[in-house]
Structure 1
Amino acid sequence: MKGLARYWGYLAFVILVTAWWTRSVGPVALLVLSLLVTGFFLFQAPVWCCAMNRDGTLCRNNSAGLLLGCSKRQHKWQKLRMTFVPHAWRQMNRGLWASPREGLTTLGAIVGILSAIVATAISVAGQFAGKA
């Protein structure tokens, strides 16, 4: 059971997609699910580090989430810095699609972020429609 607990975000991702597909829950529940899925993929999903090594290759150590590096202190800061420095986005993008696992994690994070934005917009639009 401990091994399956590491992958809870994939189940949440499937529930999120199903909830959007069937339109069975409200925007607040969609927003909560979206934030959970986004948080999982950005900070907890098991992926490769993919920070740049000194020889120009990608680090293949295990990492937690797309934004955090492996156990090497320099890699943790390098991955986080690549998120905010525009000229490093190309290097970071190279690591986001390094393998099918990283690709699925990247797509999951993108879907989670977009889902959160749309659920927030629906919720805000519903608030304004209720006051009019």
Structure 2
Amino acid sequence: MTTRSRSNKKGLLAKYWGFVPFTALIAALAGWIPQVAPVMILALAALSSYFFVFGMPVWCGAINRDGTSCRENAHGLLLGCHRRQHKWQKVKMRFARARWAKLNRGLWTQPRESLATIGAVVAILGGVAAFVPLPWMPK
């Protein structure tokens, strides 16, 4: 009987650490945490955005040679998997207008990707909201 080594396995919190600042950001924007400084909201939004765009474990989604989507593990919405060509393909999708439709389709393929996309949009909007006075926020 073989035993598994836990030293190379990441814990759940280590994989999904970005949901902690995201939850705090939502709570601060909703007014559940009283008197939060705009700098703190901006920091929470930056951490959350970084996690969703570059750190959340998702599928790669790059197009394989046979026309199917790659199902290898990747980190974040904008990075590809371990294959160098897939990383370049995802970079090209960001800058070529004709490929934005393919990139957008890849952002909504699975619930995990959809959650990362919505989280990134909310975190970016939260960063903007740090400088806009919201009516329910205390002054």
2:38 to 27, 39, 51: 27
Partner of 2:20: 11
Q: For the pair shown, which has the larger CA radius of gyration, 1 or 2?
A: 2
- The percent of aligned pairs where both chains have the same amino acid is 52
Structure with bigger helix share is 1
Report whether the alignment pairs 1:43 with 2:54: yes
Q: What is the TM-score with the length of structure 2 in the denominator?
A: 0.82
- Structure 2 partner of 1:114: 125
1:1-132 equivalences under 5 Å are: 2-3=10-11, 4-22=13-31, 24=34, 25-122=36-133
**Aligned counterparts of 1:119 and 1:43: Cα–Cα separation in 2:** 22
Output the amino acid matched with 2:17: W
TM-score by length of 1: 0.86
Consecutive unaligned residues of structure 1, counting only runs of 5 or more, are 123-132
Residue 62 of structure 2 aligns to a residue in which SS?
coil
- 4+ residue runs over 4 A deviation: none
Alignment gaps of 5+ in structure 2? 1-8, 134-139
- How many residue pairs were aligned? 122
Aligned-residue CA RMSD (Å): 1.5
User: 2: distance between equivalents of 1:95 and 1:49?
Assistant: 9
Residues 76 and 115 (structure 1), Cα distance of their counterparts in 2 relative to 1, 3 Å cut:
same
Per-residue deviation, 1:13: 1.1
